[in-house]
A and B are shown apart, each in its own frame.
Chain A
Amino acid sequence: MTGSRLSSGGLVDRSRSLSFTFDGKTLSGYEGDTLASALIANDQLLVGRSFKYHRPRGILTAGSAEPNALVTLGRGGRTEPNTRATVAELYQGLEARSQNRWPSLEWDVGSLNSLLSPFLGAGFYYKTFMWPKAFWEKVYEPFIRMAAGLGRLEMEADPDRYEKAWAHCDLLVVGAGPAGLMAALTAGRAGLRVILADEDFRLGGSLLPSMASVDGAKAADFAATTVAELQSLGNVTLMPRTTVFGWYDDMVFGAVEKVQKHVAVPSHDRPVERLWRIHAHHAVLATGAIERPLVFGGNDKPGIMTASATSTYVNRYGVSPGDRVAVFTNGGTGYRTAQDLVSAGIQVTAIVDTRAGADDRVPDGVRVVRSAGVVDTQGRKRLGSIIVERAGFEEEIACDALAMSGGWTPTIHLACQRGAKPVWSEEKQVFLAPDSDPRLTLAGAANGLETLAEALADGAAKAFAVLAKLERTASGTDVPAVEEARSSVHSPVWYVGGARSKAFVDYQNDVHVKDLALAQREAYSSVELSKRYTTSGMATDQGKIANQNATGIIAAMRGISPGEVGLSTYRPFYTPVSLGVIAGTSRDEHGRPVRRSPLHAWAEKNGATFVEAGLWYRSSYFLKPGEKTWREACDREVLNVRANAGLCDVSTLGKIEVKGPDAAEFLNRLYCNAMLKLPVGKARYGLMLREDGMVHDDGTVSRLAEDHFFLTTTTAMAAEVLSHMEYYAQTQWPDLDVTMVSVSDQWAQMAIAGPKSRAILSKIVDADLSEEGFPFLAAREVMLKGGLAARLFRISFSGELAYELAVPAGYGEAVADLVMSAGAEHGICAYGLEALNVLRIEKGHVTHAELNGTVTPDDAGFGKMMAMQKPDFVGKQLSSRFGLTAADRLQLVGLKPVDPKNDIRTGAHLLKEGAKPSMANDQGIVTSNCFSPTLQHPIALALLKSGRERMGETIVVFDRLRGDEFPAVVCSPVFVDPENAKLKGEPARPARPAQKEAAE
């Protein structure tokens, strides 16, 4: 009753012993082993517990379809749950733990579930957790969550690096088995750029465990020779340990390369995994086939594995799963495995064949039981015997391992991931890939071919076809001769009748035949519904083991062909992909690109606290010694700007230059206000609409020359406005002779605002900055004293006498330093985004907090700016539509709390006094708020129904989220200096009774 290492044979390096642990026990294997083969060598055939019933499970396969042998590898941040032991390359110091068991793998309390199994069938959840409703969240959800999942995540951060890369080739060959190697060799010799990718750490696929001879050599040696030749070709890239997991648009394939998953402590210089996006002009899928288990009673005991897995463990890894092995088959594969076992000196107790007759060679001395089936198995944590039934006669045959073969399912996943449905072959009784794209073909076993000779020939043929398409001459690649024992075809048996215990279809999710039958009875007979009702095919192997059998069984239950039942939809990923590799380098500080202003270092040395604004890091406020909160800094900055001066970094604004004979006409159509006659050397506020009449963005437009303009946009909309402009230039008005370019990064731009700003700038700008020499809205190139060309704009967002000074980005810091030192005697301060925001709220200037996509110019108080006399502009036509001119639209107003202790907060809703809070009674919404240091009480901007008619009304500010409900008074949105006297550096005057003009 032992799994063991054979005395010789296999492709493992017996001179390099590796020690590893499983559940704390120290074991040893060899280089070239997988964790699974090393576990078998140490007679550890019990590897895990199943998901629902906690049944003891072993190793079913020798490849990536493994549903049972899932383990947790590593520790701490490197912990990786649900790793398939069958593809985990063994390395010195590997630590593996079994899953889904407590307190231990041997004694698992959860296995009590097995006793409850009559109540735990498909649909159990849906039927059980219905009532009482009060239990849904308090009892059922925690219970289900506790029971769900297999391995446990470690919450520690993953210390390893991941990255992404692109590759390009003429031909991508997926799978380095016989067909793939021949395809790559044929194309490689002809000089194509070839990528050959395979999920295994050793290239050769089914050649590696094959006992056939190819070109007179052992199959594995032929593989090694071919790989060596491919390696020598400069135009061929070999990618072992690389799983191609998806086929995407435009012939892009996704793949994950395991770069350092086979070492205990990865080098920091390299990633542990790399995500490849491979753009291939052509692709040959030589992805092989997956051997199906037979569905019979008790088919899940440790020691039961597929026949090809048994052969692989014996031939490739030199390990034996048992001393006395039985074979259960419906085709030639079982006989070949029996021969492999006998050749390795392992006793084969019997071959049980479902068929009446077959002409396969039976190894000497091995008993064959024909027209028979296994109906049950004995043994608890390890197979002890099988019960074989034929014609009503039952016989127990002792064995400690069983090799089963239910036939082969071509691996067509990639070809079906983009919507095309697989095609049922009545002849071969398998699903084949659809013909959906001439650039993608399948070869070998993936193409439904069964023999090695066919696979080799098909691989070469598919590569020749690609060469012919590319009109490349192929240098001769002869298909090698194969010597191999004849093997009969499989005659499908989807379900072995007479099962006396559970016959599993999906091992990992514990779905057995009776679950599928229940789904039938409850009308979930469509394959997609059956999948979801029973969870068959929903485990981490995504139905690689289960789906074909499930379709066969559903078809048999319904009395129709499997082709009529179909398969559930194939989707990426072919095998599980770590989230780490999908993130790549996009984690922590590099979670998204960071943009830094050219004045970033200036802000840092002036004590800025930064805030993320989109991708930008912007200076938020500048704490001075003694200040503890942002409010203290912000209030001081605001008052200082109003009293003296301040410098604010506005480099993040979008900046666009527009040039051409039709530039003025272009801008005239782009903005809703008039631009045609803007004089050279002047700036103007500009409001841009969308076609639907809503405000798109606002900014300034300056005319540098007759045919040359400079625009600013808001920070957030910079890229969008440029593409908006390009769209109109290229598609709507191609007749306009105009071009544009973004210069956002070229200029460091600083706002210098406050009554002292003129005095400060006069010290450094070599120009007449008097009211006459440089009036409001002047925009000109100037020279700084010392000889630096700059652009100066007399514009103001704060309501103060203010300028924006732009210099080439690299000189931004030097110029900002100069302004600060020139301004020191005038009390200049640096001010940040918080103060900028307060200054603009005090002046009732809008930002995207107000211009939220549902706001028209009139809503924002800019109604008179719209130049409706223009023949056309973007948004004009729809501006007059019903609803946009309605009297009860939300309009911009100011709000002051009746009790100045009440802070009006953004997001609060407005209600009429006495009205019940409801959607119907909603009067509007608060869009911006701040504490006004100038007025010494909180203020807010809001959008209020018919707001401009409601000045002086007392309204209720309602915010249930934050428990606010208090009265406020509706007022003009311009709280400070409504006469705009300060714009010219004069003292503020009280408002005249009449309403203010629009912003300009």
Chain B
Amino acid sequence: MNGPFMLRHALDGAVSANPARGVNHVEILADPLVISISARPATVARVKERLAGEEGLRFSGPAEWLVVAPRHDAIRVKSLTEAMGADALVADQSGGRVVLRLSGPAARAILAKLTPLDLHPDVFGEGQSANAFFGHVGVNLARLEGDVFELVLMRSFALFAFEELLEMGLEFGLTAGFAT
């Protein structure tokens, strides 16, 4: 699709090529799909209805969602754009976001150093997502399951945020690497 053009990830060079994988691990998605969908007060009900059941749907604000998937998929961008029609602003943000998956028994303890969200499973359950502070930058954080969290960060801040994440994970032996 993108012909001869090489993709450069914002975290290229930030992790070693063959990293060890510990129990607490952060996986960097190499070429994820991130689509933002912004409805309007007049259309929010319709848009919500049409988005019900959409795989990888994340709440990211009133009348705003993200659709996140492990692989970029231009066809899905197109079909979602068409499905929303004039009712919502659909923007492919895949290039502008970095998606990390943090997992392991210490995931919550690590996140507690970066985000003010209460991540107790009674409060922030599986499938829930929220926009929050992450260190000094913004994040969309979702609990995928148990102790697996997904972090959607802005590309320009990603290296800074990733370094903070690694530092907060030091005491838990946090490892990091690109998803294979």
Contact call B9/A810, Cβ cutoff below 8 A:
yes
User: Least Cβ distance of B172 to chain A in Å?
Assistant: 9
**Contact among A659, A746, A811 for B7, CB-based, below 8 A:** A811
CB distance from A761 to the nearest CB of B (A): 16
Q: In the complex, what residue of chain B is closest to A736 when comparing beta carbons?
A: B40
Chain A 794-818 near chain B by CB (<8 Å), digits 1 or 0? 0000000000000011111111001
B10 touches A741 (CB 8 A): no
B97 and A745 form a contact (CB under 8 A): yes
- Would you give the 0/1 interface string for B151-180, flagging 1 where the beta carbon is closer than 8 Å to chain A? 000111101110110011011000000000
B79 in contact (CB, < 8 A)? no
Q: With contacts A163-B113, A746-B96, A813-B8 known, is A739 near B63, CB below 8 A? A: yes
Measured CA separation A969–B67 after assembly (Å) = 59
Partner-binding segment picked from B17-25, B86-94, B140-148: B86-94
A857 to B7 alpha-carbon distance, docked (Å): 42
The answer on a CB contact under 8 Å between A741 and B36 is yes
Q: Is B38 in contact with A193, judged by CB distance below 8 angstroms? A: no
* Residue B115 CB within 8 A of the other chain: yes
B31 within 8 A of A: yes
CB-contact partner of B96 in A161, A164, A590, A809, under 8 A:
A809
23 contacts between A and B (CB under 8 A): A166-B115, A268-B170, A269-B170, A593-B160, A596-B159, A598-B8, A616-B156, A659-B38, A660-B40, A707-B86, A737-B42, A739-B88, A739-B89, A740-B89, A746-B93, A746-B95, A746-B96, A748-B95, A786-B4, A787-B3, A808-B95, A810-B31, A811-B8
B39 interface residue (CB < 8 Å to A):
yes
- Confirm or deny: A859 has a beta carbon within 8 angstroms of a beta carbon on chain B: no
Cβ–Cβ contact A737 & B40, under 8 A: yes
Beyond A786-B2, A786-B5, 20 extra complex contacts between A and B, CB < 8 Å: A164-B113, A166-B115, A270-B170, A585-B135, A585-B164, A659-B88, A737-B42, A739-B89, A740-B38, A740-B89, A744-B156, A745-B154, A745-B156, A746-B92, A747-B96, A748-B95, A809-B96, A810-B7, A811-B95, A813-B8
The A/B interface has a contact count, at CB < 8 Å, of 150
Docked pose: A593 CA to B133 CA in angstroms: 12
Q: Are B36 and A277 in contact (CB under 8 A)?
A: no
Per the bound structure, the CA–CA distance linking A563 and B154 in Å amounts to 56
Q: A166-B116, A595-B157, A811-B2 are in contact. Are A746 and B91 (CB under 8 A)?
A: yes
A734, A739, A784, A810: which has the most chain B beta carbons within 10 Å? Answer: A810
Alpha-carbon distance A747/B164, docked complex (angstroms):
25
Name which residue of chain B comes closest to A746, CB basis.
Answer: B96
Contact B5 A596 (CB under 8 A): no
Query: With a CB–CB cut-off of 8 A, which chain B residues contact A420?
Result: none
Distance, CA A707 to CA B84, complexed state (A)? 14
Q: Which of A269, A593, A743 contacts B137 (CB 8 A)?
A: A593
Q: How far is the CA of A597 from the CA of B92 in the complex (A)?
A: 18
Query: Which residues of the other chain, B, contact A744 by a CB distance below 8 angstroms?
Result: 96, 156
- A residues bordering B, Cβ < 8 Å? 161, 163-168, 193, 268-270, 277, 279, 585-586, 590, 592-598, 601, 616, 657-661, 707-708, 734, 737-741, 743-748, 784, 786-788, 808-815, 818
Query: Is B116 in contact with A788, judged by CB distance below 8 angstroms?
Result: no
Inter-subunit contact A165/B170 (CB<8 Å)? no
User: Which of B5, B8, B135, B155 is the one whose CB lies under 8 Å from A745?
Assistant: B155
Cα distance, A744 to B91, chains bound together (Å): 11
Closest to A591 in B: B136
Q: How large is the interface on B (under 10, 10 to 19, 20 to 34, 35 or more residues)?
A: 35 or more
Determine whether the beta carbon of A745 is less than 8 Å from that of B136. no
Q: How far is the CA of A344 from the CA of B168 in the complex (A)?
A: 48
Q: Nearest residue in B to A652 (C-beta to C-beta)?
A: B156
Q: Which of B82-116 contact A (CB under 8 A)?
A: 86, 88-89, 91-97, 112-113, 115-116
Judge whether B41 is part of the interface by a CB distance below 8 angstroms.
yes
Distance to closest chain A CB from B130 (angstroms): 14
Please, how many angstroms separate the alpha-carbon atoms of A741 and B155 in the complex?
A: 16
**A953 CA / B133 CA spacing, docked (Å):** 55
Max chain A Cβ within 10 angstroms of own Cβ: one of B3, B89, B136: B89
Contacts A743-B93, A808-B94, A814-B6 hold; do A593 and B155 have CB atoms under 8 A apart?
no
Q: Does B75 contact A (CB under 8 A)?
A: no
With a cutoff of 8 Å between Cβ atoms, the chain B residues found around residue A585 in the complex are 135, 164, 167-168
Cβ-closest chain A residue relative to B110: A165
Bound CA span A812–B135, Å: 27
User: Out of A167, A657, A737, which one reaches B91, CB within 8 Å?
Assistant: A657
Rounded to whole angstroms, the CA-CA distance of A237 and B135 in the bound complex is 23
Closest B residue to A748 by CB, please name it.
B95
Q: A165-B112, A593-B137, A596-B159 are in contact. Are A815 and B36 (CB under 8 A)?
A: no
Residues of chain A within 8 A of B163, CB atoms compared:
590
Nearest opposing residue in chain A for B9, CB measure: A810
Give the shortest distance, in Å, between B78 (CB) and chain A (any CB): 11
Given known pairs A585-B135, A590-B163, A593-B137, the reply for A659 and B41 (CB within 8 Å) is no
Q: Is A741 in contact with B95, judged by CB distance below 8 angstroms?
A: no
- Tell me the bound Cα distance from A485 to B160 in angstroms: 61
- Structural contact, B5 and A739, CB atoms closer than 8 A: no
Q: Is the CB of A590 within 8 A of B97?
A: no
Contact status A741-B91, CB under 8 Å: yes
Q: A809-B96, A809-B155, A814-B5 are in contact. Are A739 and B39 (CB under 8 A)?
A: yes
Cβ of B157 and Cβ of A593 under 8 Å apart? yes
Is the CB–CB distance between B116 and A277 below 8 Å? yes
Q: A743 — which chain B residues lie within 8 A by C-beta?
A: 91, 93, 96
Q: Give the CA-CA distance A809 to B97 in the complex, in Å.
A: 9
Q: How far is the CB of B91 from chain A (nearest CB, A)?
A: 5
Give bound CA distance, A262 to B126, whole Å.
39
Chain B residues within 8 Å of A659, by CB: 38, 88-89
> In the complex, what residue of chain A is closest to B133 when comparing beta carbons?
A166
5 closest A-B pairs (Cβ-Cβ)? A745-B96, A808-B95, A746-B96, A786-B3, A809-B95
| Contact yes or no, B89 A810, CB < 8 A | no
Is there contact, CB below 8 Å, between A787 and B1? yes
Residue in contact with A593 in the complex, picked from B39, B92, B136, B168, CB distance below 8 Å? B136
- What residues of A have a CB within 8 angstroms of the CB of B8 in the complex? 598, 601, 810-814
A167 CA to B113 CA, complexed, in Å = 9
A193 to B38, CA, bound (A): 37
Given A593-B136, A595-B157, are A163 and B168 also a contact pair (CB < 8 Å)?
yes
Q: Which residues of B contact A595 (CB under 8 A)?
A: 156-157, 160
Q: How far is the CB of B13 from chain A (nearest CB, A)?
A: 8
Q: Contact: B63 with A788, CB < 8 Å?
A: no
The residue in chain B whose Cβ has the minimal distance to the Cβ of A817 is: B6
Contacts of A597 in B (CB 8 A): 156
Q: How long is the Cα–Cα vector from A630 to B154 in the complex, in angstroms?
A: 31
